[in-house]
Chains A and B, each alone.
Chain A
Amino acid sequence: MKSSVIVFPGSNCDRDIAVALEKMQFENKMVWHKDTSLPKSDLIVIPGGFSYGDYLRSGAIAGKSLIINEVIKAANSGCLILGICNGFQILTETGLLKGTLLRNKNLKFINKDVNIKVINNSTKFSNKYKKDEILKINIAHNEGNFFTDSNHLEELKKENLIAFQYCDEKGNINEEVNPNGSLENIAGIYNQKKNILGMMPHPERMVDEIISNKDGINLFSSLLN
């Protein structure tokens, strides 16, 4: 499977996701933000980091960069798109995903391992997970507080577009285990066609037991499935 990782100035999880993809046997290419064409890709990843220093607003400038037009075109023709952390923020800035990511409720950067629950396990990104499986995944962000309007929230629920929700070790979803104030503990969402996933947690950080755990592996093996 062919993948491309978009590199913006200030991206800093680009190497991490590339390592994870290569470990999972993706044929991966790095794509510079000033490029105007994309290599043939089955999957495009927009990595975490601080694209353009997060100036103006997280993801705002990247959302207007040269390469992003190509990403939008690819997305509209069905290519799989994964936005992690800053990548999720960029996807909302481009309009490929609805909703937005506000400042964390406690107004601080948060880095820790959190539990998330797999809500929909029948997508290209999640078919190797069990439904309601609980994963321990690292988060690291300043603006991860997902917010959207009530129509979109309704749509997310009705169409099964919520990918992950923050939960406790047993899978209970409540305010106590909501790290950043996200609406309904939402940690990741799909677009309507489910070819685009945006998520705040970092699955690429969870592919090696010496460093953390292997809870992120099945996201990549789902894609290969």
Chain B
Amino acid sequence: MKITNEIVQKHGLNLDEFSKIKKILKRDPNLLELGIFSAMWNEHCSYKSSRIHLKKLPTKGRQVIQGPGENAGVIDIGDDDAIVFKIESHNHPSYIEPYQGAATGVGGILRDVFTMGARPIALLNSIHFGDPKHPKTKSLLNGVVSGIGGYGNCIGIPTVAGETKFDETYNENILVNAMAVGHAKKNKIFYSKAKGLNKSVVYVGSKTGRDGIHGASMASAEFDENSEEKKPTVQVGDPFTEKLLMEACLELMKDKSIISIQDMGAAGLTSSSVEMASKGLLGIELDLEKVPCREENMTPYEMMLSESQERMLIILEDGKEKAAKKIFDKWDLDFVVIGKTTDTSNLTLKFNNKIEGEIPIDALALKAPIYDRKWIRKKTQRYKVNVKKLKKIKIEDALIKILSNPNHSNKSWITNQYDQMVMCDTAQKSGSDAAVIRIHNKDKAIAVSVDSSANYCNAFPLYGGKQIVCENWRNLISVGAKPLAITNCLNFGNPENKEIMGEFAECLEGIKEACEFLDFPVVSGNVSFYNGTNKKNISPTPVIGGVGLIKKLSKPIGHNFIHNNSNLLVIGKTFGHLEQSVLLREIYSINTGMPPDINLSNEKNNGECILKLINKNLVLSSHDISTGGMIISLAEMSIGSNIGIKIHKPKRLTNSINYFFGEDQARYIIEVNNKDLSKVEKILKDNNVFYENIGITQSDFFEIEDELKISIKDLYKINNEWYNNF
């Protein structure tokens, strides 16, 4: 078959890239080889547009065992314990087929974690949908939530935290990012780097079908009106098989049989075999007729590009095949030696003893194109807000409007569909700033959280990037955890557009600055470009997933008030920054202006001081102040606990709207017992932390002196209305 330009373009490659392929091979590729290049050189697998920017991120630290470049990042949490974690996007498939798209997103990220020898202990997700009123939104939300739950519940890993947001920017391109966290022994981490010649390459897990062929290429292009036709490229998940695969792999990992192991994720058999060989500077030869197939007459092209789920590739030590096979037999899974490592430095594909394709490994991995795409900085004008000139609004009305918005509504309709308790180590579930998961059989725990702020990133990417890292850091601090490291999922539009590339570059600058300052390195992540349809790009939406450590877990600190008549302290200074706030957006439909900037040294100082107070058992409950401002955080603390507040009018800022709805950063609310108040105040003063004592907790009513008084019952009702009427 002659490879025409049309075939090349159908494979998502441009003609320059095709010339480069011909130059490397010194001949024309055949269709199988072209397919393999397309799978490895697409944006999703090659990171060709993002790589030069990603390199700038801080990835090292005393806590880091393995940074980016492996299946997942690994950090040290003391003793012989390590935490393995990563976040990944499954946006495009989830828009086309929400249930399976989301389910296989969860399945894929779980494999990344148990491939490294870790037992998964928690799942998180960040999901973004279009306008709540858009005709597709509810059905997409319903499908995605069932898919996430369907997979996690069945495999028996608790889904413990997440975020769900709505904005018209995602009307035709939703975001589904899934994060998995696992626990491993520090000296029992498994990597993907192949070693040694003539070692058996073993295929384990499900059989290969025709599902998901070219999935990664689909994820590397924008949608158009024909996107629905791509349904057959969405993979179908089977959490039951994944459970068996996970148990079988973890069982095999108990001894020393495995040299290297890699899951078959995007671009399936192609990327797994190439990555293993490339890292080991080896060649690899596969006999494709041995690949277990689910359908008849599958061609080498289909086998190499299938994205069937729940499969792994393992390179075994000599003589371990029999014992290993016994384990997979026990779990009723396929186990077939399909090839071997070689010294040719080539990927050699045979089918019934005939060579069907041969490509130098480094051409697929190291020599994949890298682009330094044009980008420009965003110019954002300030929008001077003068509340007095805006239409007058009562605080109560604004509060009710925001709390009834799906973005700020109580999400238990979602979280109740996830098993959050299985494994019996979830000490704090969804709905808090961060979830807390105990390390099994130990008294330490980790805190985990995912966060994004697309509005801030869209308004001014540099501040936005910085803010999401800090927000995540704050969420871990709020539950008493020392933040250790993050993973990021970078969801952006078309990188060939210089404004979009600018959003990417600047968000990353912001992330870098905050991560460096806070010693909060990036250990894994994923880039998802081409989020948009017909040239309309989504707002830049980087998502941060962070992990922190609680050395000794007693009862975790949550954001629900504990009792009446305790003191409420706001930590950090309130300036009343309203630009880019929820208030302006929701009430006045104003979405111009600059997001709040962050003073990183205040951020660090305030956070470390909160941690000190929590460790001294001086804090009853704590919550960071984020979108919506102080009043929304207070309302969340009240609604969750059914305990009210009574606070005085602001003493410093004369305008209550600025004071209560301003979105200044580095702030927290803490609840403190009367008997501890002077101790707390002394520590805050000694550490130069700005704070205000704003009032007390009380029963039944949410009350601001001379401004508003609402019963908690009413607030609860308002906050639950949208989902209850789903």
Interface residues of A (CB under 8 A from B): 9-10, 12-13, 15-16, 19-20, 34, 48-50, 52-55, 108-112, 138, 140, 142, 202, 204-205, 208-212
State whether the Cβ of B52 lies closer than 8 Å to any Cβ in chain A: no
A42: min CB distance to chain B, Å: 23
CB nearest to A110 among chain B residues? B416
State whether the Cβ of B590 lies closer than 8 Å to any Cβ in chain A: no
Instruction: Give every chain B residue within 8 A of A202 (Cβ-Cβ).
Output: 421
B554: min CB distance to chain A, Å: 7
Identify B239's interface contact among A15, A52, A53, CB under 8 A.
Answer: A53
Q: Are A210 and B154 in contact (CB under 8 A)?
A: no
Give complex CA distance A202, B330 in Å.
28
Give complex CA distance A9, B156 in Å.
12
CB nearest to A107 among chain B residues? B146
Known contacts A111-B419, A111-B421, A204-B424: A12-B155 contact under CB 8 Å: yes
Which of B332, B419, B425 neighbours the largest number of chain A CB atoms within 10 Å of its CB? B419
State whether the Cβ of B331 lies closer than 8 Å to any Cβ in chain A: yes
Identify A16's interface contact among B155, B331, B418, B423, CB under 8 A.
Answer: B423
A59: min CB distance to chain B, Å: 14
Give complex CA distance A109, B159 in Å.
13
Q: Are A210 and B555 in contact (CB under 8 A)?
A: yes
Identify B332's interface contact among A9, A19, A55, CB under 8 A.
Answer: A9
Q: Are A205 and B424 in contact (CB under 8 A)?
A: yes
CB nearest to A53 among chain B residues? B240
Which of A9, A15, A52 neighbours the largest number of chain B CB atoms within 10 Å of its CB? A9
B150: min CB distance to chain A, Å: 8
- Residues of B144-168 at the interface with A, using a CB-CB cut-off of 8 Å, are 146, 149-150, 153-156
Identify A111's interface contact among B156, B416, B425, CB under 8 A.
Answer: B416
Q: Are B331 and A208 in contact (CB under 8 A)?
A: no
Identify B154's interface contact among A10, A20, A108, A112, CB under 8 A.
Answer: A10
A-B contact pairs, 18 of them (CB 8 A): A9-B331, A10-B154, A13-B156, A16-B422, A16-B423, A20-B424, A34-B330, A50-B239, A53-B239, A54-B154, A54-B240, A109-B150, A109-B153, A109-B417, A109-B418, A111-B420, A210-B555, A210-B556
Instruction: Give every chain A residue within 8 A of B332 (Cβ-Cβ).
Output: 9
Give complex CA distance A55, B239 in Å.
11
Give complex CA distance A122, B187 in Å.
51
State whether the Cβ of B238 lies closer than 8 Å to any Cβ in chain A: yes
Give complex CA distance A52, B238 in Å.
11
Q: Are B421 and A140 in contact (CB under 8 A)?
A: yes
Per-position 1/0 for B228-263, Cβ under 8 A of A = 000000000011110110000000000000000000
How many B residues touch A, CB cutoff 8 Å?
Answer: 35
Identify B426's interface contact among A49, A55, A211, CB under 8 A.
Answer: A211
State whether the Cβ of B427 lies closer than 8 Å to any Cβ in chain A: yes
Q: Are B416 and A112 in contact (CB under 8 A)?
A: yes
Q: Are B238 and A53 in contact (CB under 8 A)?
A: yes
Known contacts A53-B239, A211-B438: A138-B423 contact under CB 8 Å: no
Which of B149, B240, B331, B420 neighbours the largest number of chain A CB atoms within 10 Å of its CB? B240
CB nearest to A202 among chain B residues? B421
Which of A10, A52, A202 neighbours the largest number of chain B CB atoms within 10 Å of its CB? A10
Q: Are A140 and B553 in contact (CB under 8 A)?
A: no
Using A109-B419, A112-B412 as known contacts, list a sample of 13 further A-B pairs with CB atoms less than 8 Å apart, ordered by residue number in A.
A12-B155, A12-B243, A15-B423, A50-B153, A50-B156, A52-B240, A53-B240, A54-B240, A55-B240, A109-B149, A111-B153, A138-B421, A211-B425
Q: Are B419 and A205 in contact (CB under 8 A)?
A: no
Known contacts A55-B240, A202-B421: A210-B156 contact under CB 8 Å: no
Instruction: Give every chain A residue within 8 A of B146 (Cβ-Cβ).
Output: 108-109
Per-position 1/0 for B395-432, Cβ under 8 A of A = 00000000000000000100111111111111100000
Identify B424's interface contact among A49, A54, A211, CB under 8 A.
Answer: A211
Q: Are B156 and A12 in contact (CB under 8 A)?
A: yes
Give complex CA distance A212, B416 in Å.
16
Q: Are A111 and B418 in contact (CB under 8 A)?
A: yes
Give complex CA distance A208, B427 in Å.
10
Q: Are B239 and A140 in contact (CB under 8 A)?
A: no
Instruction: Give every chain A residue within 8 A of B419 (Cβ-Cβ).
Output: 109, 111, 140
Give complex CA distance A112, B330 in Å.
34
Q: Are B424 and A50 in contact (CB under 8 A)?
A: no
Q: Are B240 and A16 in contact (CB under 8 A)?
A: no
A220: min CB distance to chain B, Å: 14
A178: min CB distance to chain B, Å: 15
CB nearest to A179 among chain B residues? B416
Q: Are A53 and B424 in contact (CB under 8 A)?
A: no
Give complex CA distance A20, B438 in Å.
16
CB nearest to B247 among chain A residues? A9
Q: Are B417 and A210 in contact (CB under 8 A)?
A: no
Give complex CA distance A88, B241 in Å.
23
Instruction: Give every chain B residue within 8 A of A212 (Cβ-Cβ).
Output: 421
Q: Are B421 and A205 in contact (CB under 8 A)?
A: yes
Give complex CA distance A37, B554 in Å.
42
Per-position 1/0 for B321-362, Cβ under 8 A of A = 000000000111000000000000000000000000000000
Instruction: Give every chain B residue within 8 A of A112 (Cβ-Cβ).
Output: 412, 416
CB nearest to A50 among chain B residues? B154
Instruction: Give every chain A residue within 8 A of B154 (Cβ-Cβ).
Output: 10, 12, 50, 53-54
Instruction: Give every chain B residue within 8 A of A53 (Cβ-Cβ).
Output: 154, 238-241
Give complex CA distance A122, B582 in Å.
57
Q: Are A210 and B553 in contact (CB under 8 A)?
A: yes
Give complex CA distance A54, B155 in Å.
11
Instruction: Give every chain A residue within 8 A of B238 (Cβ-Cβ).
Output: 53
Give complex CA distance A112, B415 in Å.
9
Give complex CA distance A149, B239 in Å.
34
Instruction: Give every chain B residue within 8 A of A48 (Cβ-Cβ).
Output: 422
CB nearest to A212 among chain B residues? B421
Identify A108's interface contact among B412, B417, B427, CB under 8 A.
Answer: B417
Instruction: Give every chain B residue within 8 A of A110 (Cβ-Cβ).
Output: 416-417
CB nearest to A16 among chain B residues? B424
Known contacts A9-B331, A50-B154: A19-B424 contact under CB 8 Å: yes
Per-position 1/0 for B617-652, Cβ under 8 A of A = 000000000000000000000000000000000000
Q: Are B240 and A210 in contact (CB under 8 A)?
A: no
CB nearest to A19 among chain B residues? B424
Q: Are A140 and B426 in contact (CB under 8 A)?
A: no
B130: min CB distance to chain A, Å: 22
A137: min CB distance to chain B, Å: 10
A223: min CB distance to chain B, Å: 19
Instruction: Give every chain A residue within 8 A of B553 (Cβ-Cβ).
Output: 210
Q: Are B240 and A10 in contact (CB under 8 A)?
A: yes
Known contacts A110-B416, A210-B553, A210-B554: A50-B240 contact under CB 8 Å: yes
A24: min CB distance to chain B, Å: 14
B505: min CB distance to chain A, Å: 41
Per-position 1/0 for B126-146, Cβ under 8 A of A = 000000000000000000001
Instruction: Give every chain A residue within 8 A of B244 (Cβ-Cβ).
Output: 9-10
Per-position 1/0 for B44-71, Cβ under 8 A of A = 0000000000000000000000000000
Instruction: Give every chain A residue within 8 A of B416 (Cβ-Cβ).
Output: 108, 110-112
Per-position 1/0 for B688-707, Cβ under 8 A of A = 00000000000000000000
Instruction: Give every chain A residue within 8 A of B423 (Cβ-Cβ).
Output: 15-16
